[in-house]
Amino acid sequence: MLTERASGLLLHPTSIPTRFGIGDLGPRAYEFVEWLGSAGQRYWQVLPLCPADAGGSPYQSASSYAGNPLLISPELLARDGLVTVEELAAAELPDTESASKVDFALANARKGRLLEQAVERFHGQAVTGQWSEELHQFVDEHRHWVEAHALFMAAREANHNLPWQLWTRYSDLKPPMIPSELAARFAVHLVFQFLFFRQWQQLRDHARNLGIRIVGDIPIYVSHDSADVWANRHLFQLDAKGNSTRVAGVPPDYFAATGQLWNNPLYDWQAMEADGYAWWIRRLKASLALVDYVRLDHFRGFEAFWSVPAGEPTAMNGEWVPGPRDSLLQAFANSLRSSTSDRPNVPIIAEDLGMITDEVHALRQRFGLPGMKVLQFMLPGESWDNTRPEDFDANSVVYTGTHDNDTSLGWFREKIMPHPDLLARLRNYVPCEESRFPWEFIEFAWRCGSNLAIAPLQDVLSLDSSARMNTPGTSGDQSTNWRWKYLPGVLTDELRNRLADLTRLTHRC
């Protein structure tokens, strides 16, 4: 439950400019956090920190527990003596190749070599004891997932990176069964995770010292080609060969006329309930070890989810199926209850967007979970639910837009300006001057009754549609999804002071 007025910004670490073509957890991330704090902001919201797919999406990952090795900072590796100055220079990308968009393939190639060099040096130093104790402590603490993840990654590499259902070797391995020929790559992936978690916790500690809380993100579903499914097949709706029988998606909505076919395998909720939702509880606790709050993506799916027969070309021919509802959320609450409190504060923000029913709202409210208000979806006269913005439920988070929305300037130009009736309606709330609109919208959000207000950094920078992070339902080689980065030098003192002044004026300090 959110009890104090505050504000923050949404920015994924990959969007931080660095010398290496992709954002990371190094010096530039520390600079961003310090700028955020000096601007009076108390929250930093990120997307899932797990490994991204080939297109850069953190919502289709090889693991819901693991960290993305591409976020490891080369500069911090150099500080720790794990890479040389020459190796650091070889991993840099020219400004023309790394300015405003992430090139995941190129960054992975350059940085991948550097990370391998760091791991080789790490093992050499571990022999002398420098890293050995820390690594063993990390593996012991994360054993419930990290060994399965490292084994899955090593086995996938040995099977030419094919989906695990197509593997010709190692498909049924489980730790501690580590074939000798996989041992070296298994060890490499363990160290990748150690390095990521070490750097992330140092950055999080720095944010905490500045009074900044971090909001993470738990996607409701996991990728079929993941250690999660490979190691827990009995918890998913799969056939004997490991193929999905039913898959996830959403019916036609604001984003897509034929719905969105996500193709993630659906959970076998009966099997999960049988062991007290142990897998989900471990997943929630693992996330909360990294962040202070989690945005529970597609909360609607816990009340009822859209189930599509595997093999369908679109999501249109699905059906609503009851979800785990109160039993799962009560299991969450019980797992977080401390010895000093009978009523735990469940640090979850429910992403209750889209086709939301009264039953979904009631489920969220029974557990005191804050919901989301996205101003781009709430144009006056459409879905304000007869509630003025200043009267929004205090236990909610208001956004100008999310990572799935256009920037506020892009939205205003495309969706509002060409339509005089919409423009007239919006002018009842903000002046709608094009050059000032992103900040008008931020001020509007900051004045709302929601205790937490968040804006994407793109809106603070007044950027147009070219800075959009993701367009749902689109992918492919030409996609620009997940690639946006801000340019060095744009986080100015003027912007910091403007944001700090607005935050004080709206009593969010």
Q: Which residues are catalytic?
A: 297, 351, 404
Distance set, CA 266 to CA 30, 258, 350, 387, 472 (Å): 38, 20, 20, 36, 20
Pairing of strands 319-322, 260-265: unpaired
* Sequence-ordered list of residues with C-beta below 8 angstroms from that of 110, at least 6 positions apart, any chain: 20, 21, 90, 91, 92, 93
The tokens for 98 are 């790394």
Distance CA 181, CA 171 (A): 15
By CB atoms closer than 10 A (0-12, 13-18, 19+), residue 190 is: buried
Distance CA 69, CA 349 (A): 26
CB 408 within 8 A of CB 438: yes
The total of other beta-carbon atoms located within 10 Å of residue 468's CB is 22
CB 104 within 8 A of CB 22: yes
Question: Nearest 5 degrees, angle CA 488-CA 492-CA 498?
Answer: 145
By CB atoms closer than 10 A (0-12, 13-18, 19+), residue 137 is: exposed
The tokens for 195 are 């390095």
Cis amide leading into 176 (omega within 30): yes
The total of other beta-carbon atoms located within 10 Å of residue 156's CB is 21
* Sequence-ordered list of residues with C-beta below 8 angstroms from that of 230, at least 6 positions apart, any chain: 148, 152, 164
* DSSP 8-state assignment for residue 40: T
Alpha-helical runs (H) found in 68-182: 74-79, 85-91, 95-98, 104-126, 132-141, 143-158
Give me Rg for the CA atoms of the chain. 23
Alpha-helical runs (H) found in 180-325: 183-209, 227-230, 269-274, 278-288, 300-303
* DSSP 8-state assignment for residue 33: H
* Backbone phi and psi for residue 25, each to the nearest 5 degrees, phi listed first: -100, 25
Residue 307, helix vs strand vs coil: strand
